[in-house]
Amino acid sequence: MTNDANSDSPTGTTPPPPPGAPQPEPPEQGPEAGASQPGLVGPESDDARTTAMLCHLLAIFTGFLVPLIIWLIKKDQSRFIDQQGKEVVNFELTLMIGVVAAALTICIGVGFVIFAAVWIVNIVFGILATIDVNKGKPYRYPVCIRFIS
Protein backbone atom coordinates (compact mmCIF):
# COMPACT_ATOMS: atom_id res chain seq x y z
CA MET A 1 0.00 0.00 0.00
CA THR A 2 1.28 3.48 -0.85
CA ASN A 3 0.29 6.73 0.74
CA ASP A 4 -0.87 9.11 -2.03
CA ALA A 5 0.17 12.23 -0.09
CA ASN A 6 3.79 11.10 0.10
CA SER A 7 4.22 9.43 -3.29
CA ASP A 8 5.11 11.21 -6.52
CA SER A 9 2.06 11.50 -8.70
CA PRO A 10 2.41 10.59 -12.38
CA THR A 11 0.31 13.66 -13.23
CA GLY A 12 2.99 15.96 -11.82
CA THR A 13 0.77 17.67 -9.25
CA THR A 14 2.27 18.64 -5.94
CA PRO A 15 0.51 18.31 -2.62
CA PRO A 16 -0.83 21.52 -1.03
CA PRO A 17 1.43 23.26 1.49
CA PRO A 18 0.77 22.56 5.17
CA PRO A 19 -1.64 24.84 7.05
CA GLY A 20 -0.01 28.08 8.17
CA ALA A 21 2.65 27.99 5.43
CA PRO A 22 2.77 30.98 3.06
CA GLN A 23 0.69 30.37 -0.06
CA PRO A 24 2.51 30.77 -3.39
CA GLU A 25 1.33 33.59 -5.66
CA PRO A 26 -0.28 32.44 -8.91
CA PRO A 27 1.87 33.37 -11.94
CA GLU A 28 0.68 36.22 -14.15
CA GLN A 29 -0.33 35.06 -17.59
CA GLY A 30 -1.64 36.50 -20.83
CA PRO A 31 -1.56 40.03 -22.21
CA GLU A 32 -3.10 41.40 -19.02
CA ALA A 33 -0.03 40.24 -17.04
CA GLY A 34 1.84 43.56 -17.28
CA ALA A 35 -1.19 45.66 -16.40
CA SER A 36 -0.88 47.44 -13.09
CA GLN A 37 -4.28 49.14 -13.27
CA PRO A 38 -7.66 47.78 -14.35
CA GLY A 39 -8.37 48.32 -18.04
CA LEU A 40 -4.70 48.53 -18.99
CA VAL A 41 -3.11 45.78 -21.02
CA GLY A 42 0.44 44.53 -21.26
CA PRO A 43 2.35 44.16 -24.53
CA GLU A 44 1.41 41.27 -26.81
CA SER A 45 4.91 41.05 -28.31
CA ASP A 46 8.39 42.53 -28.11
CA ASP A 47 7.60 44.59 -31.20
CA ALA A 48 4.56 46.14 -29.49
CA ARG A 49 6.62 46.89 -26.39
CA THR A 50 9.41 48.49 -28.42
CA THR A 51 7.04 50.57 -30.54
CA ALA A 52 5.18 51.86 -27.47
CA MET A 53 8.49 52.63 -25.77
CA LEU A 54 9.62 54.64 -28.81
CA CYS A 55 6.40 56.67 -28.67
CA HIS A 56 7.23 57.75 -25.11
CA LEU A 57 10.93 58.31 -25.76
CA LEU A 58 10.53 60.30 -28.97
CA ALA A 59 7.86 62.49 -27.37
CA ILE A 60 10.56 63.98 -25.13
CA PHE A 61 12.32 65.36 -28.22
CA THR A 62 9.53 65.88 -30.77
CA GLY A 63 6.40 66.67 -28.78
CA PHE A 64 3.21 65.02 -29.93
CA LEU A 65 3.94 64.85 -33.69
CA VAL A 66 6.08 61.68 -33.98
CA PRO A 67 4.11 59.71 -31.34
CA LEU A 68 0.91 60.71 -33.16
CA ILE A 69 2.27 59.39 -36.47
CA ILE A 70 3.48 56.13 -34.88
CA TRP A 71 0.16 55.68 -33.06
CA LEU A 72 -1.91 56.31 -36.21
CA ILE A 73 0.14 53.79 -38.20
CA LYS A 74 0.42 51.03 -35.56
CA LYS A 75 -2.75 51.38 -33.42
CA ASP A 76 -4.61 48.57 -35.22
CA GLN A 77 -1.74 46.10 -34.75
CA SER A 78 -1.71 46.05 -30.94
CA ARG A 79 -3.97 47.10 -28.05
CA PHE A 80 -0.84 48.01 -26.07
CA ILE A 81 0.42 50.38 -28.80
CA ASP A 82 -3.07 51.86 -29.14
CA GLN A 83 -3.36 52.46 -25.40
CA GLN A 84 0.15 53.86 -24.91
CA GLY A 85 0.03 55.93 -28.10
CA LYS A 86 -3.16 57.64 -26.90
CA GLU A 87 -1.60 58.16 -23.49
CA VAL A 88 1.52 59.90 -24.82
CA VAL A 89 -0.41 62.04 -27.34
CA ASN A 90 -2.80 63.15 -24.58
CA PHE A 91 0.13 63.99 -22.30
CA GLU A 92 1.96 66.00 -24.96
CA LEU A 93 -1.23 67.91 -25.84
CA THR A 94 -1.64 68.69 -22.13
CA LEU A 95 1.93 70.01 -22.07
CA MET A 96 1.16 72.19 -25.10
CA ILE A 97 -1.48 73.95 -23.00
CA GLY A 98 1.28 74.68 -20.49
CA VAL A 99 3.55 76.02 -23.23
CA VAL A 100 0.76 78.31 -24.50
CA ALA A 101 0.19 79.54 -20.94
CA ALA A 102 3.93 80.19 -20.64
CA ALA A 103 3.95 82.13 -23.91
CA LEU A 104 0.98 84.25 -22.84
CA THR A 105 2.54 85.12 -19.48
CA ILE A 106 6.16 85.55 -20.53
CA CYS A 107 5.85 89.35 -20.60
CA ILE A 108 5.14 89.46 -16.86
CA GLY A 109 7.97 87.07 -16.05
CA VAL A 110 5.86 84.12 -14.92
CA GLY A 111 6.10 82.49 -18.32
CA PHE A 112 9.76 81.61 -17.83
CA VAL A 113 8.92 79.63 -14.69
CA ILE A 114 5.97 77.89 -16.35
CA PHE A 115 8.04 77.00 -19.40
CA ALA A 116 10.83 75.56 -17.23
CA ALA A 117 8.31 73.53 -15.23
CA VAL A 118 6.70 72.13 -18.40
CA TRP A 119 10.11 71.24 -19.82
CA ILE A 120 11.16 69.42 -16.62
CA VAL A 121 7.82 67.58 -16.34
CA ASN A 122 8.14 66.45 -19.97
CA ILE A 123 11.61 65.03 -19.41
CA VAL A 124 10.95 63.38 -16.04
CA PHE A 125 7.62 61.75 -16.88
CA GLY A 126 8.82 60.87 -20.39
CA ILE A 127 11.78 58.96 -18.95
CA LEU A 128 9.62 57.24 -16.32
CA ALA A 129 7.12 56.20 -19.00
CA THR A 130 9.87 54.95 -21.32
CA ILE A 131 11.39 52.80 -18.56
CA ASP A 132 8.05 51.31 -17.46
CA VAL A 133 6.88 50.54 -20.99
CA ASN A 134 10.26 49.02 -21.86
CA LYS A 135 9.73 46.64 -18.90
CA GLY A 136 6.33 45.70 -20.35
CA LYS A 137 4.23 47.67 -17.87
CA PRO A 138 1.60 50.09 -19.17
CA TYR A 139 2.13 53.68 -18.03
CA ARG A 140 -0.43 56.35 -17.13
CA TYR A 141 0.79 59.92 -16.83
CA PRO A 142 -0.33 61.43 -13.51
CA VAL A 143 -0.92 64.90 -14.97
CA CYS A 144 -2.84 64.45 -18.20
CA ILE A 145 -6.06 65.63 -19.81
CA ARG A 146 -7.60 62.72 -21.74
CA PHE A 147 -8.45 64.37 -25.07
CA ILE A 148 -8.43 61.02 -26.90
CA SER A 149 -10.13 58.16 -25.07
Each residue of 119-142: pLDDT tens digit? Answer: 999 999 999 999 999 999 999 999
Q: Is the pLDDT of residue 11 over 60?
A: no
Q: What are phi and psi of 131, to 5 degrees?
A: -65, -50
pTM: predicted TM-score of the whole model, two decimal places? 0.72
pLDDT in tens, 66-87: 999 999 999 999 999 999 999 9
Cα(50)–Cα(123) distance, rounded to whole angstroms? Answer: 19
Whether the CB-CB separation of 40 and 73 falls below 8 Å is answered with: no
Say which residue, 9 or 128, is predicted with more confidence. Answer: 128
H-run or E-run covering 51: helix 46-62
State the pLDDT at residue 115: 95
Cα(57)–Cα(143) distance, rounded to whole angstroms? Answer: 17
